[in-house]
């Protein structure tokens, strides 16, 4: 039988099965050619990423039947969103902290937050922003559940991130307020929605595109933490050339592969001051002549963002290999 090579994009991964979307919206269930597994075995402890292929990857695959194929090549990614993988129990050697790739070839990242239930978490938001900035992904911030915000707490956060230069969408998935603006910004793009459990990602997506039918979790009144209902990430074409990737609820995130001296570049409001520091390896903490610290003291950089920076700085580990 003659081989038939087809180009497509991975839209879902389940265990060792990769679902690849091709022209005419046909999806093939594919496996990886053995050469990829051999590369994985060869690298062993030198391997830095857990994922050979990810959602959003463009691939060439050999069509085996009308439903099944084998992936032969994975194209180079223009970008990808990732985080540090959970550390394996007993990991002591250098380089054992691996990278987990969430999705690739992304145009827009929508970081979904909520004002209440759960409360707005700017530390989580800033961590995801750093991951996106380090991968050159366009950042959008969604503040949901403003129908619960009797004191208009959201306005302070909206002003903070708008002043920095980010697009901020103020919405209520329950009554539909602000959803049209979010939907308009998705067109002709690959968009990923990412946020902690319970902030309303799936409710927002279902409100904009009812045919998606993503599972919706409830919030525990005791812990105010959502139950994880989105089991696996998945990319769907919601309109012609418009794609949405929904991801599992994530309670914690650490950006991967960032050095202490580089972290400030991903807090974009720091950039105008970075090159005025006395030392080019300045970490903007204790060094004399630090222009960033001076900017914080002069209220040119918000104390909330600076504290997020310090919090992230503490998570950069000595056992990372770059």
HEC string for 217-235: CCECCCCCCECCCCCCCEE
Q: Pseudo-torsion of CA 150, 151, 156, 161, nearest 10°?
A: -10
d(C-alpha 70, C-alpha 61), whole Å? 5
- pLDDT score recorded for residue 221: 39
Query: Stretch 66-87: mean pLDDT, rounded?
Result: 90
Q: Name the residue with tokens 């990829």.
A: 36
Query: Sorting pLDDT into bands at 50, 70 and 90, what band is 100?
Result: confident
- pLDDT score recorded for residue 37: 63
Task: Express each pLDDT in 150-181 by its tens digit.
Answer: 999 999 999 999 999 999 999 999 999 999 99
d(C-alpha 300, C-alpha 118), whole Å? 29
Which segment, 90-94, 223-227, 278-282, is predicted with the most confidence on average?
A: 278-282
Residue ranges in the chain assigned as alpha helix (H) = 34-43, 122-134, 154-164, 179-184, 201-208, 271-274, 291-297, 303-315
Helix (H, G, I), strand (E, B) or coil at 214: coil
- pLDDT score recorded for residue 215: 59
d(C-alpha 208, C-alpha 158), whole Å? 22
Which residues are CB-contacts of 228 (< 8 A; sequence separation ≥ 6)?
197, 217, 248, 249
Domains of the chain plus CATH, in order, are: 5-100 (2.40.50.140), 107-246 (3.40.50.300), 260-315 (1.10.40.50)
Task: Express each pLDDT in 28-63 by its tens digit.
Answer: 999 998 777 655 554 444 445 557 899 999 999 999
Mean pLDDT of the chain: 85
Both tokens of 299, joined, read 């209220």
| pLDDT beyond 60 at 104 | yes
Q: Round to the nearest angstrom and report the end-to-end CA distance of the chain.
A: 45
Q: What percent of the chain has pLDDT over 70?
A: 81
Q: Identify the CA nearest to 311 among candidates 249, 250, 251, 267.
A: 267
- pLDDT score recorded for residue 52: 85
- pLDDT score recorded for residue 101: 87
Task: Express each pLDDT in 216-272 by its tens digit.
Answer: 544 333 344 444 333 457 899 999 999 999 876 555 678 888 988 899 999 999 999
Distance of CA 138 to CAs 53, 81, 169, Å?
22, 11, 14
Q: Across the chain, where does the E strand assignment appear? A: 5-14, 17-21, 27-32, 58-63, 68-74, 80-84, 99-104, 108-114, 138-144, 167-170, 190-195, 234-239, 242-246
């Amino acid at each position: 039988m003659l081989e038939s090579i087809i180009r497509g994009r991975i839209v879902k991964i389940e265990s060792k099965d990769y679902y690849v979307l091709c022209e005419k919206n046909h999806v093939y269930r594919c496996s990886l050619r053995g050469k990829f597994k051999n590369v994985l075995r060869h690298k062993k402890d030198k391997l830095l990423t857990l994922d050979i292929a990810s959602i959003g990857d463009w691939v060439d695959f050999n069509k085996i039947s009308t439903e099944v194929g084998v992936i032969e090549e994975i194209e180079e990614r223009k970008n990808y969103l990732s985080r540090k993988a959970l550390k394996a129990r007993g990991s002591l050697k250098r380089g054992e902290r691996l990278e987990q790739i969430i999705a690739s070839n992304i145009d827009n990242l929508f970081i979904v937050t909520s004002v209440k239930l759960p409360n707005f978490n700017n530390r989580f938001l800033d961590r995801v922003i750093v991951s996106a900035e380090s991968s050159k992904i366009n950042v959008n911030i969604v503040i949901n559940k403003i129908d619960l915000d009797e004191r208009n707490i959201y306005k302070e956060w909206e002003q903070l991130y708008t002043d920095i230069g980010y697009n901020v969408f103020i919405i209520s998935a329950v009554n539909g307020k602000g959803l049209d603006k979010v939907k308009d910004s998705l067109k002709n793009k690959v968009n990923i929605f990412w946020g902690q459990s319970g902030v309303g990602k799936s409710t927002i997506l279902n409100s904009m595109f009812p045919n998606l039918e993503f599972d919706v979790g409830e919030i525990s009144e005791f812990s105010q933490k959502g139950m994880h209902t989105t089991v696996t990430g998945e990319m769907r074409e919601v309109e012609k050339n418009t794609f949405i990737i929904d991801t599992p609820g994530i309670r914690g995130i650490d950006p991967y592969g960032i050095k202490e001296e580089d972290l400030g570049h991903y807090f974009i409001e720091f950039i105008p001051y970075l090159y005025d520091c006395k030392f080019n390896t300045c970490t903007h903490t204790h060094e004399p002549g630090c222009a960033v610290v001076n900017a914080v003291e002069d209220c040119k950089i918000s104390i909330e963002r600076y504290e997020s920076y310090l919090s992230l700085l503490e998570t950069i580990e000595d056992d990372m290999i770059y």
